[in-house]
Amino acid sequence: MYAIVKDRGKQYKVRAGEHHLIDLKADTQIGQILEFHDVLVCSNDEGNTTFGAEANKNAKVIAEVEGIKKGVKSMTIKFRRRKESMSRRGHREKYTRIKIKEIICG
């Protein structure tokens, strides 16, 4: 059983019991339950698969927030030859770690 969920412009393929990193949701607390209602594809145990948001009106995915995690740090170096000039810039994205509790196909 799996589902493809759309959350704020990104799509995630999820299964029950899996852990996923999604874009940071700053207003969530550890242990909070999240419901994703925008289910694009939903497949159940019998092998029946439904596609599209209209076909999955009653489908939803229930997840629990496990915490906030930082991603890999990426560094950018801009070097200008013969000018004795160099700039460094780093970036580290933050993610919300969730555990998929249940997938309900409508």
Per-residue pLDDT of the chain (106 residues; tens, 9 = 90+): 899 999 999 999 999 999 999 999 989 999 999 999 999 998 887 878 888 876 678 889 999 999 999 999 999 999 988 888 999 999 999 999 999 999 988 7
Residues 6 or more apart whose Cβ sits within 8 Å of residue 103 = 1, 2, 3, 14, 15, 16, 42, 59, 61, 62
- Mark residue 71 as left, alpha or beta (left: phi above 0; alpha: psi -120 to 50; beta: remaining): beta
Contact 78, 4 (CB under 8 A): no
Q: How many CB atoms lie within 10 A of CB 20?
A: 18
- Provide the residue ranges of all domains of the chain, joining segments of one domain with +: 2-104
The model's pTM? 0.80
Separation of first and last alpha carbons in the chain: 13
